[in-house]
């Protein structure tokens, strides 16, 4: 059983985290542990037709953002990996400088200190030097920085196609095999 911690911060792009949880819900070999920031709850309500409690129902286990004594706050909790999807610059900075004043950032810090895989799906543009330094810092600490940038080589027809492809690539980074229909794999140019 793969145990995955999913953190959702208040950055725009809540649809990415929701879509990942939807897909993971159907995977019996993956157990999801979700923590959402208060800003994530607000962004979900602003950007989607989902209610935060319905997003929580997609996870196997949910935690309160302020519960720093939760299981995922300890290195003794055996998790395969963690993803922050989407990740705000505020959360990125907190992770980069080990400011563990909430469960989301504490769980990320634990993931790093235990040398487990941490994928940070940053959603911010443009970037200033402080953002770039935080990005460098988390990368040097061992995180995988995967900014949410759509690709077009698969010729997406809808926003859902863009989201699915990005989420599928994030599955790859987590070491979890995504459903085949999610990712349009590049095989080189086709003869025409």
Q: Which residues fall in the annotated binding site?
A: 10-12, 37, 88-91, 123, 153, 169
Edge-to-edge strand order for the sheet containing 61-63?
61-63, 30-36, 2-8, 81-87, 117-122, 144-145
Nearest to 135 by CA among 178, 174, 91: 91
Of 21, 17, 192, 42, residue with least CA distance to 120: 17
- Report the alpha-carbon angle 59-6-96, nearest 5: 160
Upper half-sphere CA count for residue 2 (Cβ side, 13 Å): 19
Q: Which residues are annotated as a binding site for FMN?
A: 10-12, 37, 88-91, 123
Q: Residues annotated as binding site for dimethylallyl phosphate?
A: 153, 169
């Amino acid at each position: 059983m793969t145990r995955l911690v999913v953190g959702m911060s208040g950055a725009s792009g809540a649809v990415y985290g929701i879509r990942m949880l939807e897909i993971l819900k159907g995977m019996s070999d993956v157990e999801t542990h979700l923590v959402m920031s208060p800003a994530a709850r607000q962004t979900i309500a602003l950007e989607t037709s989902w209610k935060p409690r319905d997003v929580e129902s997609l996870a196997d286990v949910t935690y309160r953002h302020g519960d720093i004594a939760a299981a995922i706050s300890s290195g003794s909790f055996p998790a395969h990996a963690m993803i922050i999807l989407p990740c705000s610059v505020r959360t990125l900075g907190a992770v980069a400088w080990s400011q563990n004043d909430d469960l989301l950032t504490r769980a990320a810090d634990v993931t790093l200190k235990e040398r487990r895989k941490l994928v940070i799906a940053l959603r911010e543009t443009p970037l200033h030097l402080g953002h770039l330094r935080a990005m460098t810092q988390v990368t040097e600490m061992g995180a995988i920085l995967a900014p949410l940038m759509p690709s077009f080589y698969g010729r997406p027809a809808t926003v859902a196609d863009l989201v699915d492809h990005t989420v599928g690539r994030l599955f790859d980074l987590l070491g979890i095999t995504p459903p085949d229909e999610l990712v349009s794999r590049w095989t080189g140019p086709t003869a025409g």
